[in-house]
Structure 1
Amino acid sequence: MKQVICINWGTKYGPPFINRLYAMVARNITPPFRFTCFCDNTDGIRAEVDCQPLPEIDYEIPVTRKGIWPKSRLWGAKLGDLEGPVLFMDLDVVVTGNLDDFFTYGDPDRVILSRNPAKPFERLGQTSVFRFPVGKLTPLQDRFKADPLGVAEEYGYEQRFVTRNAPGGIDLFPKAWVRHFRYQCIPPFPLNFAMTPRLPKDARIVIFPGGVFPEQATAGGWLGREGWGLGRHLKNTFNGPHPDGSNWRYLRHWMKPTPWVGDAWRE
């Protein structure tokens, strides 16, 4: 049984993301499989999804600018009624190819992460997509529980904490399988003005860290200016200021509408 899991809390994502992710997985996997969402609200989630309560924790999640530390709920000794290896996927990924190999690659007892292209000189995994045996990461949860804020400040991102401290170390999925939309699909400046973001050959999953969602990629433009054409974008580049103080990012990251994202990211 192939086991896919995701997690949802609060209202940032919710049923539309959960339902789309299930549909993408179902179209790109050979049965049998099980799709489990650990969540705090089941309203609006399609019946095929196995909804289970958020794993209980007895520590406070630190409020930080970096890292998605609520994922630490998944590191406990138990994960609902699941056992054995599970493949975790963020709710905002886009599945673009067959997923079967993610369940047979490497040792089933290992922690295997996708690669993080944002840090090319650091062997850093990405927890947008990673596989681990239920209970394997309990030592990480124990360490995090002892000093949540201290760990978050030391490592910055939960993926660095997992990469550096997973029992027995970590392995990485093949580079071609998981691609980063912003770093590996959008053409570099100034080619982004002329070329549509590409889907790299052999990509099975495209991840969207950094605040860009698949619907924004489909519409084009950039954050806060989704769907804007290049002319309107250039005309308004220096109208602001942008909340982070950088108008340059509008030019550097502007993207043409990306149809292949919309074709994949649907129920």
Structure 2
Amino acid sequence: MNDGRNGSVKQFICIKWGEKFGPDYVNRLHGMISRNVTPPFRLYCFTDDGTGLNPDIAVRPLPDFEYRTPQRTRGKWPKSRLWGDLGDVTGVVLFLDLDVVITGDLDGFFEYGDPDDTILGLNPNTPLEKMGQTSVYRMRVGKLAPLQDIFRADPQAAADKYKYEQRFVTRNAPGGVKFWPRGWLAHFRMHCIPNFPLNYFRDAKIPPRARIVIFPGLVNPPDAIAGRWYEDGDHVSPREHLRRAFNGQRRESFVKHMRHYVRPTPWVERLWRE
């Protein structure tokens, strides 16, 4: 069984549906993987549209989704398509969100723990709860299939109870879950951007042990490169940002506006490429 160890193929998977992320995100992901892993490796993209993808990326159709996606919750529940049968993709796989930035060696994500472990990131927003974070997780294909059965019975009830698919996985994964070593994953907003007021004067940094930087929330790699908090926003000087705060030209509370400032981040532009 392929587990990415002892010279076997390291298998990466991602999922792309709808129009939020274009093929450039997948192609950049493939490029970053290729520069940070010991071959052989393969990236499988499960998608409803493989147009524009690098020919080295293995395109696979989205697995059947036999239930209605919850409508009243924010979690990325379509990820549940990957919990069951993945066709010709078997063995151990490492899932990556499309908007991560790879900053270090990936081999350890296949070497850590037992091949049968389901391993997630530890969500920094809920440290006392020990909830998993599914931007980067490893599983043996099919091991999470029982979760699909639970979810299929009443998708909206499951979503209402757990709110996010990562909490659902954390609480229901057969055999439980484990977490990546501390520091391997860095949350861009929480771990890279300096705390207020230093965010106005210092660039975001890569934490020393970080191998992958994740971008949950409103700041994605293009926003970090441009130095903006919202995709439809624009970069402004620290002085202009402060002026907007005091003049009421803001979308959120005064405190959040002050904290939500990011300078243009050159290392994201340097690393986030094909």
Match of 1:49 in 2: 57
**1:36 and 2:38 are equivalent in the alignment:** no
1:236 is the counterpart of 2:241: no
Q: Give the drift of 1:107.
A: 0.6
Which residue is equivalent to 2:258?
Answer: 251
- Per the normalisation by structure 1, the TM-score is 0.96
Q: Which moved more, 1:252-261 or 1:47-56?
A: 252-261
Deviation at 1:239, TM superposition (A): 3.9
1:166 aligns with 2:188: no
Q: Do structure 1's residue 198 and structure 2's residue 205 form an aligned pair?
A: yes
Paired position in structure 2 for 1:138: 145
TM-score of the two chains, using structure 2 as the length reference: 0.93
**Equivalent runs, 1:34-113 vs 2, <5 Å:** 34-76=42-84, 78-113=85-120
Q: Report the CA distance between 1:51 and its aligned residue.
A: 0.4
Aligned-partner Cα distance in 1 for 2:261–2:250: 17
> Is the CA contact (8 Å cut-off) linking 2:122 and 2:131 kept in structure 1?
yes
SS of alignment partner, residue 236 of structure 1: helix
For structure 2, list consecutive stretches of 5 or more residues without a partner in the other structure: 1-8
Structure 1 residues 6-15 or 223-232, which shifts more? 223-232
- Does the CA contact (< 8 Å) of 2:101 and 2:214 recur in 1? yes
Instruction: Determine if contact 2:73/2:164 at 8 Å carries over to the other structure.
Output: no
By how many angstroms is 1:227 displaced? 2.0
Structure-2 residue corresponding to 1:222: 229
Q: Counterpart amino acid of 1:187?
A: P
Q: Deviations over 1:109-144 (max 9, x none)?
A: 010001111111111110000000000001111000
Look up the equivalent residue of 1:216 and give its one-letter code: D
The alpha-carbon deviation at position 93 of structure 1 amounts to 0.3
5+ long unaligned stretches in structure 1: none
Alignment pair present for 1:210 and 2:228: no
Q: Given that residues 74 and 164 in structure 2 are in contact (C-alpha distance below 8 angstroms), is that contact kept between their aligned partners in structure 1?
A: yes
Q: Which residue of 1 aligns with 2:32?
A: 24
- In structure 2, what is the Cα distance between the partners aligned to 1:74 and 1:221? 32
| Matching residue's letter, 1:74 | L
Separation in 2, partners of 1:249, 1:98: 34
- Structure 1 distance, partners of 2:148, 2:229, is 36
Q: Which residue of 1 aligns with 2:4?
A: none
Measure how far apart 1:12 and its partner are: 0.2
Identity across the alignment (%)? 53
Kindly report the root-mean-square deviation, in angstroms, between the aligned alpha carbons of the 2 structures.
Answer: 1.2
CA distance in 1, matches of 2:91, 2:142: 9
- How many corresponding residue pairs? 264
Distance (whole Å) between structure 1 residues aligned to residue 236 and residue 115 of structure 2 = 46
1:35 and 1:147 mapped to 2: Cα distance? Answer: 32
Cα displacement (A) at 1:219: 1.3
Mapping 1:112-131, distance limit 5 Å? 112-131=119-138
User: Counterpart of 2:6?
Assistant: none
Q: Distance between the aligned counterparts of 1:117 and 1:13, measured in 2?
A: 25
Give the superposition deviation at 1:86. 0.3
Once the 2 structures are TM-superposed, how far is the Cα of residue 206 of structure 1 from its aligned partner? 0.2
User: What is the Cα deviation at residue 241 of structure 1?
Assistant: 5.1
Deviation at 1:247, TM superposition (A): 4.5
Note if 1:152 corresponds to 2:159: yes
Rounded to whole Å, the distance in 2 between the matches of 1:12 and 1:124 is 26
Distance 1:257 1:221 in 2: 8
Q: Deviations over 1:51-109 (max 9, x none)?
A: 00001121111113421000000111x11311111000000000001100101110100
Using the alignment, how far apart are the partners of 1:226 and 1:208 within structure 2? Answer: 18
3-state SS in 2 of match to 1:113:
strand
Counterpart amino acid of residue 6 in structure 1: C
Q: Distance in 2 between matches of 1:99 and 1:64?
A: 35
